[in-house]
Amino acid sequence: MKRTKYTIANWKMNGLNNSIKLVKSIENHIKKTKHSKSKIIICPPFTLLSNFTKIEKKISFGGQDCHYLNNGAFTGSISASMLKSIGCKYVIIGHSERRQYQNELSKELKLKIKSALASNLKVIYCIGEKFSEIKRRNKVLASQINSLPTNFKFKSIIIAYEPVWAIGTGKVPSLNQINNIHSKIRLLLAKKIGHNNSNKISILYGGSVNAQNASEILNLSQVDGVLVGGASLKVPDFSKIIDSYK
């Protein structure tokens, strides 16, 4: 089945000083090369989002998190409907840095996913094992996938497989491992939502993707795109990644 390919930039808490330049340069690159083999999505910090969503056409934007309620007394939080109201189409949920530093657990993530879908945002749902969990990876991934609802528009969910030990470390699983793990993730999805529906979901790889390794990762049969952190902040590198689809 032909699935949508995605190249997603996760700026994390970066980009304040040169954000407009970054976005403009990436847009110019897309215009110049006419590459449209993947959807390009940028997820900058919340405060930068409204600068972009108004002006850009070739790139879509997303938040890096959302609260599970629409409004209320939750100091420091942003809701899915707020993201939607400024023109976001996507939101990252369950990134390992939030699981780790904000203690986000599956119960809360489940609610966040529901809230995002209810606000018509597409969810980029991150899953992945820690280094200490490699031996029981399948169980970890199965329990993370369990946070997904069973009843949703299947094209509204994108899975990003990001081994926690690969994020920002320069370490990447072997190509064989990536392909096998992605196949296993699809099997876990099939168990939950059925074979046909599981085939509609794009599964991306994330964790130390860079201009050098993107092409071999993107050419794997089970990889439908990449979620890029560090390398998404450098225009030449991110442009090369965008160009890496065959």
Residue numbers of the site for ligand PGA (CB under 6 A)? 10, 162, 167-168, 206-209, 227-231
Tokens of 126: 């991150």
User: Do residues 206 and 161 make contact, with C-beta atoms less than 8 angstroms apart?
Assistant: yes
Q: Minimal distance in Å, beta carbon 205 to ligand PGA?
A: 10
Residue nearest to ligand PGA (CB): 229
> Cα 17 vs. chain centroid, distance in angstroms?
23
67 is catalytic: no
Residue 4 one-letter amino acid: T
Nearer to ligand PGA, 52 or 165 (CB): 165
Nearer to ligand PGA, 10 or 81 (CB): 10
User: Do residues 227 and 30 make contact, with C-beta atoms less than 8 angstroms apart?
Assistant: no
Catalytic member of 29, 95, 97, 182: 95
Residue 52 one-letter amino acid: F
Catalytic member of 27, 97, 104, 162: 162
Nearer to ligand PGA, 80 or 231 (CB): 231
Q: Which of 53, 38, 57 is nearest to 91 (CA)?
A: 53
Q: Minimal distance in Å, beta carbon 40 to ligand PGA?
A: 15
Q: Minimal distance in Å, beta carbon 22 to ligand PGA?
A: 15
Nearer to ligand PGA, 119 or 210 (CB): 210
104 is catalytic: no
Q: Minimal distance in Å, beta carbon 196 to ligand PGA?
A: 29
Q: Minimal distance in Å, beta carbon 85 to ligand PGA?
A: 25
List residues with catalytic annotation: 95, 162
